[in-house]
A = this chain, B = another copy of it.
């Protein structure tokens, strides 16, 4: 490990993994924490609780399609939803930089309230800290989410099998590219906007309709689709084969990513889930998703094969590329 923290320790890629296992798991490790799921599930006499936490440091705080407050609700709600939980409660911890306009804070809190309402969750506990000018960047928000997992529901790496397929519920890279474009001063491209949206209502409908045909889900946020699929491959021990031709990418995202030298497969998404499902049900699942309001680009993007936890991309030109965790140029403060 390096001697000091680098920006890349926070980008969800290789160095993040090293930090998590080398420092956090080393001391705090336990069955829950070590599973590296989007949310921990604890079984108690009170039923199965799903619990997840995320701090949001996105820069800029306001961006097309949302703001840090919307992201803070959506990110945590989605982490609960992909483990099969029904999100119920949120906590919100604010670290505010001295000098922030109260009208900006109000705008953010207002958006949080609207998004929480949309997702059907309540913010039941909060905290506010203020730090001196220059000791934060406007505002950071932590949200922790608590949900309940209905009895009999079990989405787990161990349920993944060879022959399953990989589904995504829409286009990739929109959130990450929106943020990077803003930072590159390209905000005049108005058609580009973050996909950030709560997914729990959609996911609940799918789980109720397709039940055990759905094996596992994750939301491809930091590190993007490639990193998330690689994590699933590593944890399950299966190979994953993605077909580049099948990846839904908006035209403006593809063009802009090319211009900025970014690969959409490694760009964060905030309104997307990856689903491993039985092949036999996959077409119906995709059709169902594409009937949800605003959805039309859900697709089967790959296959699960017997293997050693590798991820391969069949490129549009007919070649095959190995995909690994995000490494190299960090994309800091994307969420």
Contact = CB atoms under 8 A, between A and B. Distances in A.
Interface in A41-56: 42, 44-47, 49, 51-56
B1 A126 contact: no
A106 B23 contact: yes
Contacts of A128: 9-10, 16, 19-20, 24
A113 B26 CA distance: 10
A19 B128 CA distance: 9
A142 interface: yes
A126 B24 contact: yes
A132 B101 contact: no
B95 A7 contact: no
Instruction: Output the residue of A28, A33, A95, A98 with the most chain B CB within 10 A.
Output: A28
A110 B27 contact: yes
Contacts of A16: 128
B102 A1 contact: yes
Contacts of A123: 28, 30, 33
Contacts of A252: none
Interface in A85-112: 88-89, 91-103, 105-106, 109-110, 112
Contacts of A274: none
Contacts of A3: 101-103
Instruction: Output the residue of A54, A97, A131 with the most chain B CB within 10 A.
Output: A131
Classify the interface of chain A: helix, strand, loop or mixed. Answer: mixed
Nearest to A334: B129
Copy number in the complex reads: 2
Given A53-B127, A113-B27, A4 B102 contact: yes
A131 B51 contact: no
A57 interface: yes
A10 B129 CA distance: 5
A2 B45 CA distance: 48
A6 interface: yes
Contact of A27 (B5, B26, B112): B112
A294 interface: no
Interface string A310-335: 00000000000000000000001100
Contacts of A282: none
Given A53-B91, A142-B53, A40 B124 contact: yes
A140 B95 contact: yes
22 contacts: A2-B102, A3-B102, A3-B103, A4-B100, A4-B101, A5-B96, A5-B102, A24-B128, A26-B109, A27-B110, A27-B113, A45-B47, A46-B49, A52-B125, A53-B144, A57-B135, A125-B144, A131-B137, A134-B134, A135-B136, A136-B137, A140-B140
Given A10-B128, A144-B144, 4 more contacts: A28-B112, A33-B123, A33-B124, A44-B88
Interface of A: 1-11, 16, 19-20, 23-24, 26-28, 30, 32-33, 39-40, 42, 44-47, 49, 51-57, 88-89, 91-103, 105-106, 109-110, 112-113, 116, 122-132, 134-137, 140, 142, 144, 146, 148, 332-333
Nearest 6 Cβ contacts at the A-B interface: A10-B130, A53-B91, A144-B144, A46-B46, A142-B142, A32-B124
